Amino acid sequence: MKDKNYASFIITKIDNKENYQRLENYILNKFEYSEIIILINDSNVKDIKEYLSPISNNVLCLNLGNNIDENNSIRAGLEFSKGDIVFVIKDLSINKLEDYLDNLYESNKKGIDSSFLTSKYYRLKDKLTISLISIFLKHKLKNVYDIIFLVTRRVINAITEDNSKTTPISYIIRDIGYNYNEFECNIRDKKYYMSKQTRSVYLLLFSEASSNFAASLSLLSAIIAIVTGIYALIIYLSNKPVEGWTTTFLFLSFSFTMIFAIFSIIIRYLSVIQKELYNKPNFRVKSVSKL
């Protein structure tokens, strides 16, 4: 007997026709009411329809134009989705995909609002990126790649109220306060790597964190510059300079003043970037087509 819940499935990438058809058969056999949302970027919808030959009569293609940011693409899919539960699938090629989807759905039936099937980033530069950013962030990031995740409608409603332009969507979901769980997927023959687009999102996140760090250093530099300048002036006016100390403190005073000026410029530059990011829409939908 089919489940009566309305379920939406958001697919970020289709690697081949067979994997898509396998998922579609699972959806049609599992749920009485469902929809599939395929996220595309300036692709020909007619070609996609001919290639996939979908069986379901409720398949949508969300054309996001030249947007290549996976996080914002997923945001668009979530906001266009319907139903009480929404699955987001980033990789259709994993073995036992249907079993993993069942596990996430069973967690939802037990009252869990968000469930994640996760793996890890394995490249050293990916690990270093996450570790470096976590040093300066209030909320620590984990070395986690979400292969599949499920969210409820109230989680999606909370996401739409979040104004963050750079925080990855999976971290927003984990941080909004609803209960969630994770299942780690140990795939020996597959390793996930951070894309250039994802890394750029993390670097923007790092720029937000580093602005506070730069502000603290600039304030410290200003205080040290003032103290050293006053101390050097007192020594000079007393006509009893200690050999070498006057020159040293004057040099330090000048150096820290320059550092202060440099950090001021950095903070001003970062604030402009952050303002532009804040005013930028999360996503733009070019067209919505039904296959």
144 pLDDT higher than 80: yes
Based on the domain organization, do 220 and 165 belong to the same domain?
no
Contacts of residue 112, defined as CB under 8 A and 6 or more positions apart, other chains included, come to: 179, 180, 181
Q: What is the value of pTM for the model shown? A: 0.75
Based on the domain organization, do 238 and 165 belong to the same domain?
no
Three-state SS at 44 = coil
Determine the distance from the C-alpha atom of residue 69 to the mean position of all C-alpha atoms in its chain, rounded to a whole number.
9
pLDDT band at residue 15 under the 50/70/90 scheme: confident
Compute the 3-state secondary structure of the chain and give helix, strand, coil in percent, each to the nearest 5.
50, 20, 30
Based on the domain organization, do 56 and 103 belong to the same domain?
yes
Based on the domain organization, do 220 and 79 belong to the same domain?
no
CATH no. for residue 128?
3.90.550.10
Quote the mean pLDDT of the chain. 78
Would you say residue 199 lies in a domain? no
| 165: amino acid identity, one letter | K
Determine contact, residues 61/288, Cβ cutoff 8 Å. Answer: yes
Based on the domain organization, do 188 and 208 belong to the same domain?
no
Which residue range forms the structural domain that includes residue 160? 3-194+283-290
Exposure string of 33-54, with b = 16+ CB inside 10 Å and e = fewer, is ebbbbbbbeeeebeebeeebeb
48 pLDDT higher than 70: yes
For residues 56 and 267, which has the higher predicted lDDT (pLDDT)?
A: 56
pLDDT band at residue 239 under the 50/70/90 scheme: low
Based on the domain organization, do 105 and 146 belong to the same domain?
yes
- Reported as a single tens digit per residue, the pLDDT across 76-113 is 888 889 888 999 999 888 888 899 999 999 999 998 99
